[in-house]
């Protein structure tokens, strides 16, 4: 069994919504596609049947993964503390440029959307920081200085 993993309330809701959609919409659609392909006759040479069964296999794997992730999830308290915690939105200054990140669990991370994993070098360095703090982050290119402008 894997370890418990922190997740934000928003992330938990997104996973639950995806799970519900897969179970209520996608699963019945695939079952109908399998039944239709089965009605076409010989299953050994029926490409539609094999494709539908493969799609069903991927769907069931995704459902199991989501259920496991939700079972292990610990929804973190996102109450304001003045410190950067999982769920915080933090604005930092890097080399004169302001950037805003939301610190999330690794399961919710999407750097392109500004959601940084708390396990990433930047996310881990920012955890616990307060407004006005200077944070040094070691990267492969050297140490980068971040100044925390605001924590929400």
Contacts of 78 (CB under 8 A, 6+ apart): 8, 9, 85, 86, 87, 88
Q: If you average pLDDT over residues 67-91, what whole number do you get?
A: 82
At 7 the pLDDT is 82
Q: What CATH architecture applies to the domain 5-75?
A: Orthogonal Bundle (1.10)
5-55 residue pLDDT tens = 788 888 889 899 999 999 999 999 999 999 988 888 777 778 888 899 999
pLDDT at 67 > cutoff 90: yes
Is residue 79 very low, low, confident or very high in pLDDT (cuts 50, 70, 90)?
low
The CATH class of the 89-151 domain is alpha beta
At 78 the pLDDT is 63
At 139 the pLDDT is 79
Q: If you average pLDDT over residues 132-147, what whole number do you get?
A: 86
110-128 residue pLDDT tens = 888 888 888 888 888 888 8
What residue ranges do the domains of the chain occupy?
Answer: 5-75, 89-151
Strand 97-104 relative to strand 115-117, pairing: parallel
Phi then psi dihedrals of residue 14, to 5 deg: -65, -45
> Tokens in use for 135?
């944070």
Is residue 80 very low, low, confident or very high in pLDDT (cuts 50, 70, 90)?
low
Q: If you average pLDDT over residues 53-64, what whole number do you get?
A: 95
Helices (H) and strands (E) in the chain, counts: 4, 7
At 131 the pLDDT is 87
d(CA 44, CA 46): 6
The predicted model scores a pTM of: 0.68
d(CA 105, CA 26): 27
């Amino acid at each position: 069994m894997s370890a418990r993993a922190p997740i934000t309330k928003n992330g938990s809701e997104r996973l639950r919504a995806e799970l519900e959609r897969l179970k209520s919409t996608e699963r019945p659609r695939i079952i109908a596609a399998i039944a239709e392909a089965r009605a076409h006759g010989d299953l050994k040479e029926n490409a539609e049947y094999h494709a539908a069964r493969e799609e069903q296999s991927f769907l069931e794997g995704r459902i199991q993964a989501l259920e496991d992730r939700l079972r292990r999830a610990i929804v973190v308290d996102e109450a304001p503390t003045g410190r950067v915690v999982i769920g915080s939105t933090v604005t930092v200054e890097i080399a004169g440029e302001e950037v805003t990140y939301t610190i999330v669990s690794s399961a919710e991370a999407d750097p392109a959307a500004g959601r940084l994993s708390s396990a990433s070098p930047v996310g881990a360095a920012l955890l616990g920081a307060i407004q006005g703090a200077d944070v040094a982050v070691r990267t492969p290119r050297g140490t980068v200085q971040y100044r925390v402008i605001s924590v929400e």
